[in-house]
Structure 1
Amino acid sequence: MSIFDTSFSRRRFSLAATSMLGLALTGQRSRAADLSAVTLRVASFRGMDSTLLPALGLNDFPYQVTFSEFNSGNLIAQAISANAVDLGGWSEIPLVFIAASSARVSVIATMDGPTTDQALLVPISSDTKSIKDLRGKRVGYIRSTTAHYFLIRLLEQSGMRFSDITPVALNMSQGLTAMRAGSLDAWATYGYAIQMLQADHSARILASAADILSGHYFIGANPLRLGDDAFRHAAADYIHRLGKAYAILAADKPRWAKIVSPVIQVPERDVLNYLENQNRPYHPRAWVDSDIKGAESVAQVFEKAGLSPHNVNIGKVFSNVLNPLLPA
């Protein structure tokens, strides 16, 4: 029995009940708005929304949905700001840079989620034993993401600064290629990339960021669309469907692994091992003031490192227009 099973079994039932109730309530509200003319352009990570909703039969949307695949939250935020997509998710870290750049993005919900899929990797044959061994070494990271943040924090915990390493900003595919080619001494990354590199024996975990990150992720929307009542109801319905999907899969992780494995090309047993060791479930909800305060503390870390402006106004990015339609 996994940690999740013992600690969250009661909450699992509550999540499922809440998600189903939410879908019913949203459906009642949706009838008051004509959703048939709405198209949601949704950003999805591989193996996430665009995979899970159809696999669970939750893609019977009363509106149109088109998915675009992204591999980092900062790129999703940029796409929303450019009016290329309408809905997508990211962590607290892209939020800092969104607020600092005055990007055209609105945070409409919080997604609580696991932090066990975030780690600093080293090549499988590396003799590196601690963070201090990386002084002067080439360390890859994904700019403006959780990987960027937890790398700074891991270095701080070892009495080091960002300038003590040779940081190499890479996107996800570049990082995977670099690690497999042995051209990096370490790589700060997240998600199924970790399982991919472990599965093909390219890398091992040097340090986990599970206890560094808050587990607060955000769902952002295109503010150009939020004035439309039908769009708001469609977005709320979509978020409820995500909540229902995660509640179903949290109760059946072998099914989850079976769905995701062929999509991300990681052996099913490795995906299942990752899922069973998640430290908390995914759960979408209305954002609260403490979410803003948490993001502000993240902003302070980047300010201290000289990587973002001082006194970034995080709160200005949040919109409460969907709060009445979302679970607490």
Structure 2
Amino acid sequence: MSQHSGGLSRRRFLAGCAGALALAPLLGHGLRAEAAAPGRLRVAQYKGGDKLLLEAAGLADTPYPIDWAEFASGNLMVEAMNGGSLDLAYGSEIPPLFGFIKGARIRVVGVIKGDVNEQTVLVPKDSPIRSIADLKGKRVGYVRATTTQYYLTKMLAEIGLSFADIEAINLSVPDGAAAFRTGQLDAWAIYGYSVPLAQSNAGARVLKRANGYLSGNYLFFASPEAIADAPRHAAIADFFVRLQKAFAWRQANPERYAAALAAEIGVPVEAVLALLRNESQVRRLVPVDEAAIRSQQDVADTFLKAGVIERPVDVRPLWDGSFAAALAG
């Protein structure tokens, strides 16, 4: 076993690069043999994200350098990737969809099956609001082109309302947190560790969770250039293998993971453990498949029906199965 036991060894990694390079003339990207050194990856993450997890699981010893960049939402990752600043990122089904509609240069290459219980509509603890119907006419913060826009659309439609019936305020995650904390919002649709932070720092109360409204699919997307470049392609494949193992470690070691994450994001360990214990499904990374494509198509069709997008969209060209073998183990 090599020292890089969490994924491909450096020797196997280089061999994978060389094999991919042999296809370069066929693929048309003109790589030469001397360019076969492991590729540097530029990877996006959320605060307390995959870098922390890989380190905690002992899987951060990659045979290629990783430049990590922290973002607050998937839509910002899409913009950065389209601008040429990222090779790999992940978010919900929604940011890649909106990016695809706008012509962003991205491709979906893997699917995280993850939690939806931490996607919530929050209200102040002493708020008289007790149901989604009570949001009519109220100031509701959300993040455009993310899950929050989608599950709010679904929750409102379920009771015969729409965004036109609330005072919907598009805010970045930091701005939303500040607005909620200072009483400028009546409710806040938000996700991730912003939820326990709001609960511990601002006394937030969960009005409604997004379980039943979201698929739980979180999509890894890559730039076409990174997919076509043999060293970066091999690096992404290795990264995915490591992340699969890291998710398994997280499941087996919730206390150790919670302690590391709590220190990173500044919330009590018990707040993190509460979220982990309440997850809607075990977190895992799987290949692209037809069910995942259909799920995102359902999202596009829902937004079309709600008038959020203006024309029908076929999402299939957005998806790329290049990493199916690595993700299948």
What TM-score, normalized by structure 2, do the two folds share? 0.89
* Cα RMSD (Å): 1.9
Query: Any conservation in 1 of the 2:87–2:222 contact (CA below 8 Å)?
Result: yes
| C-alpha displacement of 1:36 | 4.3
- Deviations along 1:228-281, one digit per CA (max 9) or x if unpaired, are 122111001101111111100111111111010011111111111111111112
* Structure 2 CA distance for aligned equivalents of residues 26 and 150 of structure 1: 43
Opposite residue 314 of structure 1, the aligned amino acid is V
Q: How far apart, in 1, do the equivalents of 2:293 and 2:212 lie?
A: 19
State how 1:1-328 maps to structure 2 within 5 Å: 23=7, 28=12, 30-33=14-17, 36-327=37-328
Contact 1:96–1:312 (8 Å) recurs in 2 = no
Shift of 1:324: 2.4
Tell me: CA distance 1:22–1:269, structure 2 relative to 1, closer, same or farther (3 Å): closer
SS in 2 for 1:126: coil
Residues 152, 161 of structure 1: 8 Å contact kept: yes
Pick closer, same or farther for the CA change 1:110–1:135 going to 2, 3 Å.
same
Task: Provide structure 1 residue ranges, at least 5 long, that are not aligned to the other structure.
Answer: 1-19
How far does residue 95 in structure 1 lie from its aligned partner after superposition?
Answer: 2.3
Q: 1:229–1:192: structure 2 CA closer, same or farther, 3 Å change rule?
A: same
Q: State the one-letter code of the partner of 1:253.
A: P
Higher relative contact order (CA 8 A, sep 6+): 1
Per the alignment, do residues 268 and 99 of structure 1 end up closer, same or farther by CA in structure 2, a change over 3 Å counting?
Answer: same
Q: Return closer, same or farther for 1:26/1:125 CA change in 2, 3 Å cut-off.
A: farther
Corresponding position of 1:14: none
Answer yes or no: is the 8 Å Cα contact 2:121–2:189 preserved in 1. yes
Q: Letter of the aligned partner of 1:28 in structure 2?
A: R
Q: Residues 32 and 104 (structure 1 numbering): CA distance in 2 closer, same or farther, change over 3 Å? A: closer
CA drift at 1:90: 1.0
Question: What secondary structure, in the 3-state scheme, does the structure 1 residue paired with 2:309 have?
Answer: coil
Q: Is the 8 A contact 2:10 2:63 kept in 1?
A: no
Please, which moves more after superposition, 308-317 or 260-269? 308-317
Deviation at 1:52, TM superposition (A): 1.2
Q: Is the contact made by 1:179 and 1:202 (CA closer than 8 Å) also made in structure 2? A: no
Residue identity matched to 1:110: V
Q: Distance in 2 between matches of 1:166 and 1:300?
A: 24
CA deviation after TM superposition for structure 1 residue 216, in Å: 0.8
* 8 A contact 1:22–1:326 mirrored in 2: no
Name the amino acid aligned to 1:152. T
TM-score (norm 1): 0.90
SS in 2 for 1:200: helix
**Would the alpha carbon gap of residues 149 and 26 (structure 1) be closer, same or farther in structure 2, given more than 3 Å must change?**
farther
Kept in 1, the 8 Å contact 2:107–2:224? The answer is yes
Q: Distance in 2 between matches of 1:37 and 1:294?
A: 34
Q: Could you tell me how far 1:212 is from its partner in structure 2? A: 1.0
- 1:71 Cα deviation (Å)? 1.0
1:146 Cα offset (Å): 0.5
Q: Deviations over 1:282-321 (max 9, x none)?
A: 2112101121111011111111121113211211111122
Q: In structure 2, give the amino acid aligned to 1:247.
A: A
CA distance in 1, matches of 2:187, 2:264: 26
Letter in 2 for 1:242: L
Which of 1 and 2 has greater Rg?
2
Q: Distance in 2 between the 1:32 and 1:315 partners?
A: 28
Q: Distance between the aligned counterparts of 2:89 and 2:178, measured in 1?
A: 26
Which residue of 1 is the match for residue 24 of structure 2? Answer: none
